[in-house]
């Protein structure tokens, strides 16, 4: 069952690079990168901090990912999809799994220095992941990704350039977790407060400044370990809270790039209308609108009413209206072809609530409700709670309109952002409409974060021991095809269980001017490609 | 800086011929005398009628969504187009008139009730009561109106009622100031002294004699505030607070569409913007005329 | 005069004390505190970590203690640290004040230099077409939602000049000044309308007074009478508006700073309220309240200097 992954990959990749370089040389210097210039990027809000390990928002990741490096990363040069096969070296130059698949040994790059001049060693890696599994405290306030590392037992540093991750069970996706944009290596000698306000990394850019509610700036790291990179002198993120101003300013050429995955399809149309020469890519963001159903309180303690609710949702209307036809229908895992693990469309169609025949489904839902004594003259009154921002409110308004067909008369209860999770965790709601981002398109992330007993992001506290056993089983499977089959089964069960009915998978836009070169977005994430080391300006 | 109060402006108006021909005659007289004010009144009445009879005026339900008509351009079916959810914009604007007027009238009314009570009591009772309440008013007045409204809506949570309260509270100081200074000057008037000499109770004097005489400046002030409350609600909506969904609030309709559909669906920006501006313009025209009419110093 | 001033200053302090209690209490009534907001960005809440943050920031202390700590710090000149940026509050607030102050000053200046002459013209040409046109123009200033006006201006600029007048800190000071004119006009439109209306009505009042008739009868030309007295009488409404608008202006500035993306204190305050950044909100509100009461005091003093008929015995 041994699968030699890492060590081979870099060599293959190197060969490919050589070939590519030769091709480029042959085709002349048409693609010679220019150095210098400041990349100006729009941003929507104040990042809660600069410390990526403490946050789960693109507001922090996009501006500050370039300050750090990972051990490994996803290589986007040949394949846009983030998955195990595209994991490539960054601070780790090579890696190998032990025979039993429980030990991941990595060789670290030598001669790398932190921005403050200290050398980077295995101690930093040990420190970072020990913090993440709660074995050490370097002053981070929050740890939103504790559930990712359910399987990590300890980290061993056997030499300054040698580090080994020791897992409880085999877990091929562990490398995928390490490759995500939210898995940078932190310096062991810098405390949490500083990482939040003036982070130190090994990345291509150094932290410049963070002006609260105004702007962020990172500047070129002249001592970056990748020779010749980065190309840009600096990157400046300007916070523009008002969307219309932001779009107008981008269209007028004040900015080169927009905050990634922040433009809903309707606004991409708006940008294209204003500045037709800009490049706009709409990508699946791994953000989904789903329903948090409180099964501990009436009326949704009744499985039949949960079923009626799920039946009567017209998912296509969400796709058409809010997604301008571009959102995707899917279950818990991101649907193909963007995503790697989602059920094929024909399988999905057979899951209850996903069929296209709305009339039949409505009739079914009405039948269920009638049996329970409800009807047009005696509707069941309830509240749909959601966060009081348009991205949440719009789908909630639509939902309320849909469920009327099942005699569910709902009022919208908008909840102030500050009180949202508090309310959800207190279970002080009936149905919540949630929009949720997922860091990496991998079942280990999605299942353990959202559906495992006791996970902090398992807002509905869905807890099913049989399912959890399945989560573990798929996590340990090395064979991709077999694992994916099990993942489909799990996903189907989650939907049939109504664990957290998924309404739609979102697709959002990122726009830039044509003179910005080498922007590469992945097909299944917005978080994992913002090192900016290859980006250059052709001006 | 006290305002002189017209104790008997009816007499003056009668001399000018205001009561010559009954209600319609009077209206015609006023319209001729204050053409801008009359225009304002017509605008306001138009919107009030829209608001009251929204169910009959609006061709469709303002909340029913329809994917087929998402962002539909103005047409015979949707005179003002349809919004992203496919809801008929015209119907939403008509129903929005009700929401806007409800916010404006309730907030102004609430502010006036509290303002008058505090002002009247302060001015009439005086002493420690006056001292304490004037300090409260001072405090309210030194906080910017929008900041107050922001904190209050955040504290109370987003809802129609809470938006009204948040907009009403900051109105109290100006009303109570005006009423108090009027009451103070009225107290010295001979007819109040006469009433006291006749053995009338203080409360009775306050309610029967002082209050009615403060009505003129109150009406002037309230009309002026009516328009600004609508704008405050719009500003709150722009900042993400204000009247929440599903109520069709003009402020939110405008601020959200302005962000997303300026080019792709301009009708969603133009019509709610026009509605707000027109109704505020109308109340302001009317307010000016009211001031000219009721405040003799301004009369030409 | 001296004792009047002392009394006013004491009342001012009392007002400020009231403001401090009010804002402190209101903020605590708002559901969700900084720890909730911090966790919001992480998409989860860990009760243990949350308690740690609450303890770290001293939010587990009794409210009275928290209030006393704040006020005693304020009196010592120690404003504490922003919860979000973890920098001293004063470093966050101080650089933003001049930006907002200059915007407000420019707006006020613009509104005075347009509002006063228009008001005078409107009064002198009372009930002519010009008067009506000017009144409608000024009323429009009071009728447009300010964010809409701002957006229309931005769109106009993009459409006709291909550029957008939003704040850019890479601007030279001169460019900065030129840029600030645009939002200042957006804010000033409203104030100028108010000034115009007040100037007009006080001019009308003056024009009907006896001494004008006397001056006319003495053969002073109409124009001479109008403009000589006009200027003297225009001062009072302008000052009044400054007094009334001081607090109101902040509201207009919040919206304008948001639309034109100006990093001033007004927008900063709104963000701080949203983030439950108590040290920023509390101290900033105190600063604004202090400015408002001071301006009001100065306005009252200015009245008595300009117009001896207004006595300050209150």
Burial zone of A355 (CB within 10 Å; 0-12 exposed, 13-18 middle, 19+ buried): middle
Q: What is the pLDDT of residue C220?
A: 64
**Hey, what are A339's tokens?**
């995503």
What sign for the dihedral angle of Cα A37, A42, A45, A51? Answer: negative
Q: Are A202 and A225 in contact (CB under 8 A)?
A: yes
Residue found by looking up tokens 């404006």 in the block: B104
Q: Three-state DSSP class for B237?
A: helix
Burial zone of B39 (CB within 10 Å; 0-12 exposed, 13-18 middle, 19+ buried): middle
Please state the rounded mean pLDDT for residues A298-320: 91
- How would you write chain C as a 3-class SS string? CHHHHHHHHHHHHHHHHHHHHHHHHHHHHCCCCHHHHHHHHHCCCCHHHHHHHHHHCCCCCCHHHHHHHHHHHHHHCCCCECCCCCCEHHHHHHHHHHHHHHHHHHHHHHHHHHHHHHHHHHHHCCCCHHHHHHHHHHHHHHHCCHHHHHHHHHHHHHHHHCCCCCCCCCCCHHHHHHHHHHHHHHHHHHHHHHHHHHHHHHHHHHHCCHHHHHHHHCCCCHHHHHHHHHHHHHHHHHHHHHHHHHHHHHHHHHHHHHHCCCCCHHHHHHHHHHCCCHHHHHHHHHHHHHHHHHHHHHHHHHHHHHCCCCCCCC
Of C166, C148, C189, A188, nearest in space to B270 by CA: C148
The span from the CA of A171 to the CA of B95, in Å, is: 58
Of A508-522, B13-27, B123-137, C59-73, which gets the smallest average pLDDT?
B13-27
- Taking chain C (314 residues) in consecutive chunks of 10 residues, what is each chunk's mean pLDDT? 84 92 89 81 80 87 92 91 89 91 89 88 86 88 88 89 84 84 89 84 74 65 63 69 70 87 90 88 91 86 69 45
| CA C212 vs CA B4, B119, C207, C230: distances in Å | 22, 37, 6, 11
| CA A240 vs CA A61, A151, C173: distances in Å | 17, 40, 22
Q: What is the pLDDT of residue A149?
A: 94
| CA A165 vs CA A143, A151, A188, A491, B250: distances in Å | 19, 10, 17, 29, 57
Helix (H) or strand (E) holding A152: strand A152-159
The domains found in chain A, sorted by start residue, are: 69-189 (3.90.76.10), 286-507 (3.10.105.10)
**What is this structure's pTM?**
0.88
Q: Across-strand partners of A106?
A: A95, A163
**Hey, what are B68's tokens?**
């087929």
Q: How big is the CA angle at C242 (ends B153 and C189), to the nearest 5 degrees?
A: 75
Whether residues C14 and B235 touch (CB distance < 8 A) is answered with no
The span from the CA of C57 to the CA of C278, in Å, is: 10
Burial zone of A517 (CB within 10 Å; 0-12 exposed, 13-18 middle, 19+ buried): middle
What sign for the dihedral angle of Cα A384, A385, A390, A395? Answer: negative
Q: Name the C residues in 139-168 with CB < 8 Å from any A CB.
A: 151, 154-155, 158, 162-164, 166, 168
Whether residues A401 and B65 touch (CB distance < 8 A) is answered with yes
Of B144, B231, B232, the CB nearest to C250: B144
What sign for the dihedral angle of Cα C178, C180, C182, C184? Answer: negative
Length of chain C: 314
Q: Are B122 and B130 in contact (CB under 8 A)?
A: yes
Inform me whether the pLDDT recorded for A8 exceeds 50: no
Inform me whether the pLDDT recorded for A5 exceeds 80: no
Q: How confident is the model at residue A103 (pLDDT cuts 50, 70, 90)?
A: very high
Chains that contact C by 3+ CB pairs under 8 Å?
A: A, B
Q: Are C52 and A134 in contact (CB under 8 A)?
A: no
Please state the rounded mean pLDDT for residues A171-187: 96
- Give me the percent of chain A exceeding a pLDDT of 90: 74
Average pLDDT taken over every residue of chain B? 83
Nearest CA in chain C to B300: C204
Please state the rounded mean pLDDT for residues B184-210: 79
At residue A292, what are phi and psi to the nearest 5 degrees? -95, 115
Between B18 and B73, whose confidence is greater?
B73
Q: How confident is the model at residue B295 (pLDDT cuts 50, 70, 90)?
A: low
In sequence order, what are the residues at sequence separation of 6 or more whose Cβ sits closer than 8 angstroms to the Cβ of residue B118?
Answer: B133, B136, B137, B172, B176, B179, B180
CA B110 to chain A, closest CA, distance in angstroms equals: 24
Considering only CB atoms, which chain C residues are within 8 Å of B227?
142-143
ipTM: 0.86
First to last CA, chain A: 52
Considering only CB atoms, which chain B residues are within 8 Å of C257?
none
**Hey, what are B43's tokens?**
């605008």
Q: What is the pLDDT of residue C314?
A: 40
DSSP H helices in A133-242:
174-179, 192-197
Whether residues B288 and C144 touch (CB distance < 8 A) is answered with no
Q: Three-state DSSP class for B88?
A: strand
Inform me whether the pLDDT recorded for B14 exceeds 70: no
DSSP-assigned letters across all residues of A336-398: TTTSSSSPPHHHHHTSTT--S-HHHHHHHHHHHHHHTT-BTTBPEEEEEEEESSHHHHHHHHH
Q: What is the pLDDT of residue C212?
A: 62
Q: Within 10 A of C81 (CB to CB), how many other CB atoms are there? A: 18
Between B127 and A65, whose confidence is greater?
A65
Of C127, C143, C270, the CB nearest to B284: C143
Of B63, B71, B261, the CB nearest to A401: B63
In sequence order, what are the residues at sequence separation of 6 or more whose Cβ sits closer than 8 angstroms to the Cβ of residue B175?
Answer: B111, B112, B114, B115, B116, B119, B218, B221, B222
| CA C69 vs CA A169, A518, C78, C273, C287: distances in Å | 52, 53, 10, 20, 18
For testing contact with chain B, the best of A242, A246, A265, A266 (most B CBs within 10 A): A266
Q: What is the pLDDT of residue B137?
A: 87
Q: What is the pLDDT of residue B21?
A: 59
Q: What is the pLDDT of residue C1?
A: 63
pLDDT by residue (tens digit) across A481-531?
A: 999 999 999 999 999 888 899 999 999 999 999 999 999 999 999 999 999
Q: What is the pLDDT of residue B7?
A: 46
CA A525 to chain C, closest CA, distance in angstroms equals: 17
For testing contact with chain B, the best of A270, A280, A419, A508 (most B CBs within 10 A): A270
**Hey, what are C28's tokens?**
């605590």
Helix (H) or strand (E) holding B160: helix B160-168
For testing contact with chain B, the best of A42, A213, A244 (most B CBs within 10 A): A244
The span from the CA of B52 to the CA of B56, in Å, is: 9
The span from the CA of A490 to the CA of B115, in Å, is: 63
In sequence order, what are the residues at sequence separation of 6 or more whose Cβ sits closer than 8 angstroms to the Cβ of residue A257?
Answer: A39, A40, A41, A42, A510, A511, A512, A513, A516, A519
Whether residues C205 and B298 touch (CB distance < 8 A) is answered with yes
First to last CA, chain C: 12
B227 sits in the region (left: phi over 0; alpha: psi -120 to 50; else beta) called: alpha
Please state the rounded mean pLDDT for residues A258-265: 92
Inform me whether the pLDDT recorded for A13 exceeds 70: no
Of A56, A142, A197, the CB nearest to C46: A142
Of C277, A151, A486, B133, nearest in space to B141 by CA: B133
Q: How confident is the model at residue A64 (pLDDT cuts 50, 70, 90)?
A: very high
CA C174 to chain B, closest CA, distance in angstroms equals: 30
Average pLDDT taken over every residue of chain A? 90
Q: Are A289 and A435 in contact (CB under 8 A)?
A: yes
Please state the rounded mean pLDDT for residues B254-279: 88
Of A505-509, B83-87, B205-209, C267-271, which gets the smallest average pLDDT?
B205-209
pLDDT by residue (tens digit) across A185-209?
A: 999 999 998 999 999 999 999 999 9
Considering only CB atoms, which chain B residues are within 8 Å of A243?
259-260
The span from the CA of B157 to the CA of A394, in Å, is: 19
The span from the CA of C267 to the CA of A141, in Å, is: 27
Considering only CB atoms, which chain A residues are within 8 Å of C271?
46, 213, 241
Considering only CB atoms, which chain B residues are within 8 Å of A269?
263-264
The span from the CA of B58 to the CA of B68, in Å, is: 20
Residues of B in CB contact (< 8 Å) with A are 63-65, 67, 70-71, 84-86, 154, 157-158, 240-241, 244-246, 256, 258-264
Q: Are A44 and A267 in contact (CB under 8 A)?
A: no
pLDDT by residue (tens digit) across A121-173?
A: 999 999 999 999 999 988 888 888 888 999 999 999 999 999 999 999 999 99
Q: How confident is the model at residue B294 (pLDDT cuts 50, 70, 90)?
A: confident
In sequence order, what are the residues at sequence separation of 6 or more whose Cβ sits closer than 8 angstroms to the Cβ of residue C193?
Answer: C115, C137, C138, C139, C140, C141, C142
What's the alpha-carbon Rg for chain B, to the nearest Å? 22
pLDDT by residue (tens digit) across A204-229?
A: 999 999 998 899 999 999 999 999 99
pLDDT by residue (tens digit) across A412-437?
A: 988 877 778 888 888 889 999 999 88
Q: What is the pLDDT of residue C48?
A: 84
Considering only CB atoms, which chain A residues are within 8 Å of C260?
245
Inform me whether the pLDDT recorded for B84 exceeds 80: yes
Nearest CA in chain B to C247: B144
**Hey, what are A308's tokens?**
């009626």
Please state the rounded mean pLDDT for residues B145-155: 81
Between B221 and A31, whose confidence is greater?
B221
Chain A contact present for C276, CB below 8 A = yes
Q: How confident is the model at residue B2 (pLDDT cuts 50, 70, 90)?
A: very low
The span from the CA of B300 to the CA of B289, in Å, is: 12
CA C266 to chain A, closest CA, distance in angstroms equals: 12
Question: How many angstroms from the chain centroid is the CA of residue C167?
Answer: 19
Q: Are A7 and A94 in contact (CB under 8 A)?
A: yes
Q: Within 10 A of A381 (CB to CB), how many other CB atoms are there? A: 11
In sequence order, what are the residues at sequence separation of 6 or more whose Cβ sits closer than 8 angstroms to the Cβ of residue B57?
Answer: B50, B94
The span from the CA of A65 to the CA of A55, in Å, is: 12
Chain C contact present for A277, CB below 8 A = no
Q: Are C66 and A191 in contact (CB under 8 A)?
A: no
Question: How many angstroms from the chain centroid is the CA of residue A368?
Answer: 37
């Amino acid at each position: 069952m041994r699968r030699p992954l890492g060590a081979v990959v870099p060599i293959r990749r190197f060969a490919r690079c050589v070939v590519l370089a030769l091709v480029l040389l042959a085709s002349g210097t048409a693609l010679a990168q220019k150095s210098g210039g400041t990349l100006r990027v729009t941003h929507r809000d104040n990042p809660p901090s600069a410390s990526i390990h403490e946050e789960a928002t693109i507001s922090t990741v996009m501006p500050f990912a370039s300050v750090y490096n990972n051990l490994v990363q996803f290589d986007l040069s040949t394949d846009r999809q983030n998955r195990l096969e595209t994991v490539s070296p960054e601070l780790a130059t090579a890696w190998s799994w032990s025979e039993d698949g429980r030990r991941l040994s990595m060789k670290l790059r030598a001669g790398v220095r932190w921005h403050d001049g200290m050398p980077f060693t295995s101690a930093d890696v040990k420190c970072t992941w020990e913090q993440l599994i709660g074995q050490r405290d370097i002053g981070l306030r929050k740890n939103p990704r504790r559930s990712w590392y359910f399987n990590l037992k300890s980290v061993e540093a056997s030499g300054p350039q040698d580090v080994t991750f020791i897992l409880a069970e085999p877990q091929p996706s562990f490398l995928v977790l390490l490759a995500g944009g939210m898995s940078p290596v932190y310096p062991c000698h810098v405390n949490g407060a500083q990482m939040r306000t003036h982070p130190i990394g090994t990345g291509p850019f150094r932290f410049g400044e963070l002006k609260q509610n105004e702007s962020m700036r990172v500047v070129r790291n002249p001592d970056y370990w990748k020779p010749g990179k980065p190309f840009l002198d600096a990157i400046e993120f300007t916070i523009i809270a008002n969307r219309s101003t932001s779009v107008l300013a981008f269209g007028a050429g004040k900015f080169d790039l927009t905050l990634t995955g922040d433009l809903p399809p309707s606004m991409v149309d708006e940008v294209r209308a204003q500045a037709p020469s800009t490049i706009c890519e709409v990508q699946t963001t791994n953000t989904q609108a789903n329903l948090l159903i409180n099964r501990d309180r009436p009326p949704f303690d009744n499985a039949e009413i949960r079923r009626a609710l799920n039946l009567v949702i017209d998912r296509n209307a969400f796709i058409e209206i809010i997604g301008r036809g571009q959102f995707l229908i899917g279950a818990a895992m991101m649907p193909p072809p963007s995503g790697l693990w989602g059920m094929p469309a024909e399988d999905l169609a057979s899951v209850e609530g996903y069929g296209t025949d709305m009339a039949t489904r409505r009739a079914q839902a009405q039948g269920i409700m009638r049996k329970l004594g409800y009807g047009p003259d005696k509707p069941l009154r309830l509240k749909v709670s959601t966060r009081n921002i348009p991205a949440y409110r719009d789908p909630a308004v639509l939902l309320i309109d849909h469920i009327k067909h099942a005699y569910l008369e709902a009022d919208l209860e908008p909840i102030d952002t500050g009180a949202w999770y508090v309310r959800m965790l207190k279970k002080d709601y009936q149905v919540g409409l949630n929009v949720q981002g997922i860091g990496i398109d991998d079942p280990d992330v999605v299942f353990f974060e959202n559906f495992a007993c006791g996970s902090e992001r398992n807002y509905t506290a869905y807890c099913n021991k049989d399912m959890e056993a399945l989560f573990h089983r798929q996590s340990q499977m090395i064979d991709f095809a077999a694992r994916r089959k099990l993942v489909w089964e799990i996903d189907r069960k989650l939907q049939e269980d109504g664990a957290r009915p998924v309404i739609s998978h979102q697709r959002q836009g990122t726009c830039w001017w044509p003179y910005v070169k080498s922007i590469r977005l992945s097909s299944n994430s917005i978080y994992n490609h913002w090192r900016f080391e290859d980006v250059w300006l052709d001006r | 800086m006290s305002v002189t109060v017209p104790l008997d402006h009816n007499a003056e108006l009668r001399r000018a011929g205001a009561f010559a021909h009954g209600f319609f005659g009077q209206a015609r007289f006023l319209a001729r005398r204050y053409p801008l004010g009359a225009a304002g009144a017509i605008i306001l009445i138009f919107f009030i009628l829209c608001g009251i009879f929204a169910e009959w005026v609006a061709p469709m339900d303002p909340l029913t969504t329809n994917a087929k008509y998402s962002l539909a351009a103005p047409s015979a079916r949707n005179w003002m187009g349809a919004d992203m959810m496919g809801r008929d914009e015209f119907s939403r604007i008509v129903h929005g008139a009700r929401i806007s007027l409800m916010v404006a009238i309730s907030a102004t009314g609430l502010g006036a009730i509290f303002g008058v009570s505090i002002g009247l009591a302060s001015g009439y009772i005086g002493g420690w009561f006056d001292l304490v309440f004037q300090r409260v008013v001072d405090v309210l007045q030194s906080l910017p109106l929008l900041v107050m409204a922001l904190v209050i809506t955040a504290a109370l949570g987003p809802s129609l009622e809470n938006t009204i309260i948040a907009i009403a509270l900051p109105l109290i100081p100006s009303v109570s100031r005006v009423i108090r200074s009027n009451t103070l000057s009225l107290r010295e008037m001979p007819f109040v002294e006469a009433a006291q000499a006749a053995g009338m109770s203080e409360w009775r004097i306050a309610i029967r004699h002082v209050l009615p005489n403060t009505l003129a400046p109150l009406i002037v002030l309230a009309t002026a505030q009516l328009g600004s409350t609508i704008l405050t609600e719009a500003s709150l909506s722009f900042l993400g607070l204000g009247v929440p969904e599903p109520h069709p609030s003009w402020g939110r309709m405008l601020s959200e569409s302005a962000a997303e559909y300026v080019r792709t669906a301009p009708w969603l920006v133009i019509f709610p913007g026009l509605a707000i501006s027109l109704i505020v313009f109308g109340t302001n025209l009317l307010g000016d005329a009211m001031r000219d009419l009721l405040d003799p110093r301004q009369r030409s | 005069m001296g004792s009047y001033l002392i009394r006013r200053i004491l009342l001012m302090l009392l007002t400020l004390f009231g403001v401090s209690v009010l804002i402190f209490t209101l903020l605590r009534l708002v559901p969700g505190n900084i720890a909730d907001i911090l966790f919001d960005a992480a998409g989860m809440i860990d009760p243990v970590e949350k308690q740690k943050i609450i303890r770290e920031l001293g939010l587990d202390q009794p409210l009275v203690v928290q209030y006393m700590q704040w006020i005693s710090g304020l009196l010592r000149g120690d404003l504490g640290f922003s919860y979000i940026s973890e920098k001293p509050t004063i470093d966050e607030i101080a650089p933003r004040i001049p930006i907002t102050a200059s915007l407000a000053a420019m707006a006020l200046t613009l509104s005075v230099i347009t509002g006063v002459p228009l008001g005078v013209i409107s009064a002198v040409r009372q009930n002519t077409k010009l008067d009506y046109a000017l009144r409608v123009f000024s009323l429009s200033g009071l009728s447009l939602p300010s964010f809409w006006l701002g957006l229309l201006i931005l769109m106009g600029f993009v459409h006709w000049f291909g550029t957008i007048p939003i704040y850019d800190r890479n601007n030279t000071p001169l460019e900065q000044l030129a840029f600030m004119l645009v939002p200042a006009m957006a804010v000033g439109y409203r104030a100028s309308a108010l000034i115009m209306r007040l100037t007009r009505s006080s001019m009308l009042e003056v024009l009907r007074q006896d001494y004008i008739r006397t001056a006319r009868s003495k053969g002073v030309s109409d124009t001479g009478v109008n403009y000589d007295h006009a200027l003297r009488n225009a001062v009072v409404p302008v000052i009044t508006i400054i007094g009334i608008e001081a607090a109101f202006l902040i509201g207009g500035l919040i919206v304008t700073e948001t639309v034109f993306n100006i990093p001033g204190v007004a927008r900063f305050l709104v963000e701080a309220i949203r983030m439950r950044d108590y040290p920023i909100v509390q101290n900033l509100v105190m600063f604004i309240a202090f400015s408002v009461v001071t301006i009001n005091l100065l306005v009252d003093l200015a009245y008595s200097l300009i117009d001896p008929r207004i006595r300050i015995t209150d």
